[in-house]
Amino acid sequence: MTSDASATRDGHPSDRIDTSVAHPARRYNYWLGGKDNFQADRESGDAMAARFPTIRVSAIENRRFLRRAVDFLAREAGIRQFLDIGTGIPTADNTHEVAQSIAPESRVVYVDNDPIVLAHARALLSSSAGGATAYLDADLRDPEKILHHPDLRDTLDLSRPVALMLVAVLHFVPDDDAPHAAVTRLLDALPAGSFLAASHATHDHLPAHLAAEAKAAARGGGPHGIINLRSRDEFARFFDGLALVEPGIRSVAEWRAEGEPQPRPSVVDVSMYGGVARKP
């Protein structure tokens, strides 16, 4: 069952909820057609959709990438432990649901820094009888808190392989907050045979004026929640020292997507890379 311990340690999550400010997890929920969002999230989502009309397609394809990545990790790679950071508000095909449908003994730790996500996760993310789920109120930018959290230690065995899931979260961490160093620290704590599965929004396929706007927003000029778009090479740095799984870094609409509805959305419409790699 999902642990409630971190609510006691970190204070009641409702104390930190500010519905007047858009939050990426709630905005993402809005794009996916969910109901767990507020006016500020919808206004922010609509403003971003006005500049990037296919952003809902991107959100849907990113979610499908998560499902396929977890399926590969559980079914083909034999992974039974998952550390999912930047969980978002629960919807269909959550990490533990996909993993435990293949291997009921799978154990999953979810991490997010939004108190509304925290409340929903504890209510909805129940494990299968043979496995386990836990939820940490923590931030990717503080890997030490994640790695030393007692709920993580109670749920995962870090001497055995773990899949680190960083799906659509890295682009919310600016370069000044050292995202590559945070990922390196997390991977250093995991044994050989572990995996990194990640996706990241990119400006590589955007028209020049939209790419310039996105870069300006990342420097502090955007009012609707900053997304730090990165190039393929910048995204690939997160996989340094790892062995990429075929087909390597691709659009999330294309990564092992043979079984998805055809035709696939274009890389331009999705503008998001994905990849999975193994730690030697």
Distance in angstroms (rounded) separating the CA atoms of residues 100 and 70: 10
Confidence of residue 212 (pLDDT cuts 50, 70, 90): confident
Q: State residue 221's pLDDT score.
A: 40
pTM: 0.86
Confidence of residue 7 (pLDDT cuts 50, 70, 90): very low
Q: State residue 107's pLDDT score.
A: 97
The average confidence (pLDDT) of the chain is 86
Residue ranges and CATH numbers for the domains of the chain are 5-278 (3.40.50.150)
pLDDT at 12 over 50: no
Q: State residue 124's pLDDT score.
A: 64
pLDDT at 66 over 90: yes
Extract the tokens encoding 28.
Answer: 């993402």
The mean-pLDDT minimum among 39-43, 129-133, 195-199, 222-226 falls in 222-226
Q: State residue 276's pLDDT score.
A: 99
Extract the tokens encoding 112.
Answer: 């997010």
pLDDT at 2 over 50: no
Q: What is the mean pLDDT of residues 145-154?
A: 97
Q: State residue 213's pLDDT score.
A: 72
Q: State residue 215's pLDDT score.
A: 67
pLDDT at 158 over 90: yes
Instruction: Report the percentage of the chain scoring pLDDT > 70.
Output: 87
85 vs 214 pLDDT, higher one? 85
Q: Write out pLDDT tens, residues 176-202.
A: 999 999 999 999 999 999 999 999 999
Q: Write out pLDDT tens, residues 254-275.
A: 999 999 989 999 999 999 999 9
